[in-house]
C-alpha cells in the first residue's frame, strides 16, 4: 500500500507540474500563436485533468478506504475520470492527424484553424461518448461492509466484452491511427526530401518558388531524422504506458491469470500506472514539437553573444571621454549587433526577448559609465 501511494503521489506531482508548466508557458507567450501550440495546450489541459480528477481522486479514496461521496458523485466522478482519460488519448490522435495533414498537404494547410478546432472538438466529444456507459455501469455498493464506487458486471463474458471494448477504444484504435499517421509522415518527408536537391538546382523560377515553399513547411532532408525520432518516441511511449494495463486486464478477464493475492496486488499496482502517459506527454511534445525549448535555448545563446559583444565594445568605448558620445556609440553598436544576430529572422517571441535583452544590457552599461 505504501508503494502504491508513493507511485500515485509521484505521478500526481509530475502530471500537475509538467502540464501546468506547459500551460503557463503557452499562455504567457501569446506572441507565438500556432496550431501546434493550440494542440499542445489542449493536450496539457486533458492531461492536467487526468492528474486532478483521476489520480488525486484515487489518492483520496485510498486514504479514506471507503467511498463517502454518494451514488450520484460516484457516477459523475467516474464519468469525468473516463472522459479525461479518453481525451488525453484522442487529443493525441487529433494532433497526429493535424501533423499528417501539415506534411502531406502543405500547400492547403495554412489558415486551417477551423479544422484544428473541429479535430479537438471531435476528440473531446468522442471521449464523452465513449465514457457514457460509465453512468450505467458504476454505482455505490457495499463491499465487505464498506461502501465503494464499484462496477460489477457479473458473468465472465460481460467482463470480456467490456475489457475488449475498453482496449479497442482506448488503446488499439488510437495506436493504429497514430502509427499510420506518422508512418505516412515519415514516408512523405523521405520521398520529398529525395527530390528537393534536383529542384533546388533548377533555374526555373516556379520550381524555385515551390522549393522554397516546401522548405518553409519543414519538408527538407534535415527533417527526416527528427521526424523519425519523434515518431518512434510517440508510438513507443504511448504503447509502453498503456500496454501493461491493457494486456494484464485482458489476460485477467480471459482467465489466463490466477486470482491469487500476489496477482491482485500486481493488478492494483499496474492499474495505478494507467495515467503514466499523461506524465510523459508534456515532456515529449515540449521537446519535439513546440518552439518553447528552442526559444529558451536561443535566448540563452543570444544572451551570451550580446554579453561578449558588449564586453569587447565597452573596453573600446572607455577611452571616449563624453557620456553622450558613449551612449550614441553604444546604441549604434547594439543596432549593428541586432542585425548581425539576425533577430528579424527569429520567431516573434524570440525577437521580443532579444529586444528586452538589448535594453537591459544598455541600461546596465550606461549605469556603469555614469559612476
Q: Provide the pLDDT for residue 69.
A: 83
CA 368/CA 360 separation, integer angstroms:
12
pLDDT at 351: 46
| Whether 233 contacts 244, CB under 8 Å | no
Rounded Cα distance, 12 and 77, in Å:
17
CA distance 98 to 300: 31
Task: Give how far the C-alpha of residue 103 lies from the chain's centroid of Cα atoms, to the nearest Å.
Answer: 19
Would you state the cell numbers that stand for residue 81, as one nine-digit string? Answer: 475520470
pLDDT higher at 297 or 1: 1
Distance of CA 366 to the CA centre of its chain: 43
Bridge partners for 151 per DSSP: 138
Supply 305's cell numbers.
553573444
Residue-level pLDDT at 52: 93
Residue 277 in grid coordinates: 502517459
On the question of pLDDT at 277 being above 60, the answer is yes
Q: Band of the pLDDT at 370, cuts 50, 70, 90?
A: low
Average pLDDT of the segment spanning 181-187: 85
> 17 vs 1, which has greater pLDDT?
17
243 Cα distance to chain centroid: 20
Least confident of 30-44, 81-95, 182-196, 299-313: 299-313
Give the pLDDT score at 32.
60
Q: List, for residues 207-233, the tens digit of each pLDDT value.
A: 444 444 444 444 444 545 565 676 678
Contact 81, 73 (CB under 8 A): no
Look at residue 317 in the predicted model and tell me its pLDDT.
Answer: 47
Q: What is the 3-state secondary structure (H, E, C) of the chain?
A: CHHHHHHHHHHHHHHHHHHHHHHHHHHHCCCCCCHHHHHHHHHHHHHHHHHHHHHHHHHHHHHHCCCCCCHHHHHHHHHHHHHHHHHHHHHHHHHHHHHHHHHHCHHHCCCCHHHHHHHHHHHHHHHHHHHCHHHHHEEEEEECCEEEEEECCCCHHHHHHHHHHHHHHHHHHHHHHHHHHHHHHHHHHHHHHHHHHHHHHCCCHHHHHHHHHHHHCCCCCCHHHHHHHHHHHHHHHHHHHHHHHHHHHHHHHCCCCCCCHHHHHHHHHHHHCCCHHHHHHHHHHHHHCCCHHHHHHHHHHHHHHHHHHHHHHHHHHCCCCCHHHHHHHHHHHHHHHHHHCCHHHCCHHHHHHHHHHHHHHHHHHHHHHHC
Q: Which of 12, 9, 5, 4 is nearest to 279 (CA)?
A: 12
Strand-pair partners of 138: 151
Tell me the C-alpha distance between 73 and 80, whole Å. Answer: 10
pLDDT digits (tens, 9 = 90+) for 310-369: 555 555 545 555 445 445 555 555 555 544 444 433 444 444 454 555 556 556 555 554
Confidence at residue 129, expressed as pLDDT on a 0 to 100 scale: 95
Residue-wise pLDDT for 100-112, tens only, equals: 887 777 666 555 7
Residue 340 falls in which region: left (phi positive, over 0), alpha (psi -120 to 50) or beta: alpha
Decide if pLDDT at 242 tops 80. Answer: yes
pLDDT for residue 304 is more than 50:
yes
For residues 25-52, give the mean pLDDT: 83
Structure-derived torsion over alpha carbons of residues 81, 84, 86, 90, reported in degrees to the nearest 10: 180
Across residues 196-201, what is the average pLDDT? 51
Q: What are phi and psi of 9, to 5 degrees?
A: -65, -40
Res 220: pLDDT = 40
For residue 98, the model assigns a pLDDT of: 85
- At residue 58, the pLDDT reads 85
More confident residue, 50 or 6: 50
pLDDT tens-digit series, residues 135-176: 889 988 888 778 888 888 888 899 999 999 999 999 999 999
* C-alpha to C-alpha distance for 301 and 293, rounded to whole angstroms: 12
Asked if the model's pLDDT at residue 123 lies above 90, the reply is: yes
205 versus 236: which is more confidently predicted? 236
Q: Is the model more confident about 37 or about 107?
A: 37
Alpha carbon distance 26, 32 (integer Å): 8
Is residue 196 pLDDT above 70, yes or no? Answer: no
pLDDT digits (tens, 9 = 90+) for 47-93: 999 999 989 988 888 888 888 888 899 999 999 999 999 999 999 89
Where do we find the cell 461492509?
A: 145
Highest averaged pLDDT of the listed ranges 13-22, 62-71, 182-191, 227-236: 13-22
Amino acid at each position: 500500500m505504501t508503494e502504491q501511494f508513493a507511485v500515485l503521489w509521484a505521478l500526481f506531482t509530475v502530471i500537475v507540474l509538467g502540464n501546468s508548466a506547459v500551460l503557463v508557458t503557452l499562455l504567457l507567450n501569446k506572441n507565438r500563436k500556432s496550431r501546434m501550440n493550440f494542440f499542445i495546450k489542449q493536450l496539457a489541459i486533458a492531461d492536467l485533468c487526468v492528474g486532478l480528477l483521476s489520480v488525486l481522486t484515487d489518492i483520496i479514496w485510498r486514504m479514506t478506504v471507503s467511498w463517502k461521496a454518494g451514488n450520484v458523485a460516484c457516477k459523475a466522478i467516474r464519468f469525468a475520470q473516463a472522459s479525461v482519460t479518453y481525451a488525453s488519448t484522442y487529443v493525441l490522435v487529433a494532433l497526429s492527424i493535424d501533423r499528417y495533414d501539415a506534411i502531406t498537404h502543405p500547400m492547403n494547410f495554412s489558415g486551417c484553424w477551423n479544422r484544428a478546432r473541429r479535430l479537438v472538438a471531435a476528440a473531446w466529444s468522442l471521449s464523452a461518448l465513449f465514457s457514457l456507459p460509465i453512468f450505467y455501469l458504476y454505482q455505490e455498493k457495499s463491499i465487505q461492509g464498506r461502501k465503494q464506487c464499484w462496477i460489477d458486471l457479473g458473468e465472465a463474458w460481460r467482463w470480456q466484452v467490456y475489457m475488449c471494448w475498453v482496449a479497442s477504444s482506448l488503446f488499439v484504435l488510437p495506436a493504429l491511427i497514430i502509427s499510420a499517421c506518422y508512418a505516412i509522415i515519415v514516408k512523405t518527408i523521405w520521398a520529398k526530401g529525395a527530390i528537393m536537391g534536383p529542384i533546388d538546382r533548377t533555374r526555373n523560377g516556379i520550381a524555385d518558388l515551390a522549393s522554397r515553399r516546401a522548405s518553409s513547411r519543414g519538408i527538407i532532408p534535415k527533417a527526416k531524422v527528427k521526424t523519425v525520432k519523434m515518431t518512434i518516441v510517440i508510438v513507443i511511449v504511448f504503447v509502453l504506458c498503456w500496454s501493461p494495463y491493457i494486456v494484464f486486464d485482458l489476460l485477467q478477464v480471459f482467465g489466463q491469470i490466477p486470482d491469487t493475492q500476489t496477482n491482485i496486488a500486481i493488478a492494483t499496482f499496474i492499474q495505478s500506472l494507467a495515467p503514466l502517459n499523461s506524465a510523459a506527454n508534456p515532456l515529449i511534445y515540449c521537446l519535439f514539437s513546440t518552439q518553447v525549448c528552442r526559444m529558451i535555448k536561443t535566448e540563452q545563446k543570444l544572451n551570451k553573444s550580446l554579453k561578449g559583444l558588449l564586453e569587447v565594445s565597452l573596453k573600446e568605448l572607455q577611452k571616449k571621454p563624453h557620456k553622450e558620445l558613449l551612449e550614441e556609440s553604444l546604441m549604434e553598436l547594439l543596432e549593428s549587433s541586432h542585425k548581425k544576430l539576425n533577430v528579424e529572422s527569429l520567431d516573434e517571441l524570440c525577437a521580443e526577448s532579444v529586444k528586452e535583452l538589448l535594453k537591459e544590457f544598455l541600461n546596465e552599461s550606461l549605469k556603469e559609465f555614469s559612476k
